[in-house]
Structure 1
Amino acid sequence: MCQQQAEDLERLTTSYENIGMTDITFLIVNHVMGAASINELTSRVSFPVYQDDYNLQIQSKLNASIDDLFLYDRCGTLVYHLTKPESLVTHGTMQNKVLTTYLTNPCNCTPDTLSTTVGKTSNQTPTPTPSIRRRRAVAAPTTTCSSNQ
């Protein structure tokens, strides 16, 4: 299932880019037990794939299960934590939540909040710029995968 979900996320990325929604970002956190499948997973997508391990314990820190999806708004605020089946691209709920986050401002980010967040993220002095103010959302769904998926 995870390999298919990765391919579905890649197709979704392409379809969003084709209609000008280029500031939506996906990433995958591969389940700690799925380390053997990391190369296969990364070959299927153009976005980042991170390998969880027993030291990082990303899945545990996020209180996540396999195929969970986390959606963050443009300010880095967690907007949705979707679990299976809602987290699957083919379910429709996930796409609806991505578009809702992209087209609206569910956490009420302001240009100052966004520029401060961007500054903290990039270790630069926060400076609001017109391009940052116009940016709709950066959605970063994260799935955790295992090798038997």
Structure 2
Amino acid sequence: MGPLGLFILLGLVAELAAVTQNKSQICQPAPPWKINGEAPMEANTGQVTVVALLKASRHFCLLQAASLGSLRDKLIRQGLSNVSYLIVNEREELSFQMYSELLRHAPAGVPVYQQSPQEPDVWHSLRGKKDDFFIYDKCGRLAFQIHVPFRFHVYFNVEAAIRSTYSKDLCGNCTFYTTNTTLQEMENVTASEISNTEDTKMLQSLLQEGKSETLVSHQHAEDTEQPEAAPNGPQASPVPWPGRRAPERQLERAWN
């Protein structure tokens, strides 16, 4: 394992050391929620579903939204195509007004849901905060909840969590996970791609061994960030996953 893999693993160990805040939600079905009468989780039964809670008023959240496209495309190239990605904007006034910015930065095919002040708060229903990524298994049960702050290594945790949830019935007794189906889906990952994802395998192993339930959620640190100015200028190009500027782009090349 190279220096990058070791650094990522050290960061993940620190994540696993955190006391879980929403441990009781693990392997539980997603709480029912609707936006404008639509129930996205029900429509995605049978697929792994990634729900990202992002604020349109935060520049880093816009980068995260754009970066989802790179992650999705990478996983599709490696045979993980049966994954749905959803973005839910917060319902506070500033984020509500800047919804179009979040929609503009999101990759094509990834829906961005805008909450109405008159509807129940989806973020509250999920017991989540800004920068939370919820990964649900094919039966709609919560497999991972990962908080993505201003630290690039956690992006790899999201990728590893998706891979693990995609290929393994972590919560058990889900009829959408069958041996034949899983093998057929994973056959699309070539031998060379497998050899290039040894660090990801190690991340999955740590995620599985870090908790007795083989799953992990993340306790939020105190949110003390200061307001940041809204981005200006022409439309930003989608940034490579993990969605940060150099030197993280160099690290992303090393990972791939």
* Residues 100-137 of structure 1: per-residue CA shift (max 9 Å, x gap): 111211011332xx49xxxxxxxxxxxxxx9xx7266x
Distance in 2 between residues matched to 1:51 and 1:83, nearest whole Å: 21
What is aligned with 2:124?
60
Unaligned runs of 5+ in 2: 1-59, 186-228, 232-256
Structure 2 counterparts to residues 25-104 of structure 1, below 5 A:
25-33=84-92, 34-44=95-105, 45-46=107-108, 47-54=110-117, 55-85=119-149, 91-104=155-168
Alpha-carbon RMSD = 2.9
Evaluate the alpha carbon distance shift between residue 43 and residue 90 of structure 1 in structure 2; reply closer, same or farther with a 3 A threshold: farther
2:68 to 9, 13, 19: 9
What is aligned with 2:181?
134
Deviation at 1:81, TM superposition (A): 1.4
In 2, are the aligned partners of 1:67 and 1:88 still within 8 Å (CA)? no
In 2, are the aligned partners of 1:72 and 1:79 still within 8 Å (CA)? yes
Work out which of the two has the higher radius of gyration on C-alpha atoms and give 1 or 2. 2
In 1, are the aligned partners of 2:148 and 2:155 still within 8 Å (CA)? no
Structure 1 stretches (4+) deviating beyond 6 angstroms?
86-89
Distance in 1 between residues matched to 2:162 and 2:150, nearest whole Å: 12
Deviation at 1:90, TM superposition (A): 5.7
Distance in 2 between residues matched to 1:52 and 1:148, nearest whole Å: 20
Distance in 2 between residues matched to 1:48 and 1:64, nearest whole Å: 19
Deviation at 1:83, TM superposition (A): 1.8
Deviation at 1:86, TM superposition (A): 9.1
In 1, are the aligned partners of 2:148 and 2:154 still within 8 Å (CA)? no
Letter in 2 for 1:37: M
Query: Normalization by structure 2: what TM-score?
Result: 0.42
Distance in 1 between residues matched to 2:172 and 2:152, nearest whole Å: 26
In 2, are the aligned partners of 1:86 and 1:93 still within 8 Å (CA)? no
Distance in 2 between residues matched to 1:95 and 1:87, nearest whole Å: 14
% identical equivalent positions = 24
Deviation at 1:30, TM superposition (A): 0.4
Deviation at 1:19, TM superposition (A): 2.3
Evaluate the alpha carbon distance shift between residue 88 and residue 103 of structure 1 in structure 2; reply closer, same or farther with a 3 A threshold: farther
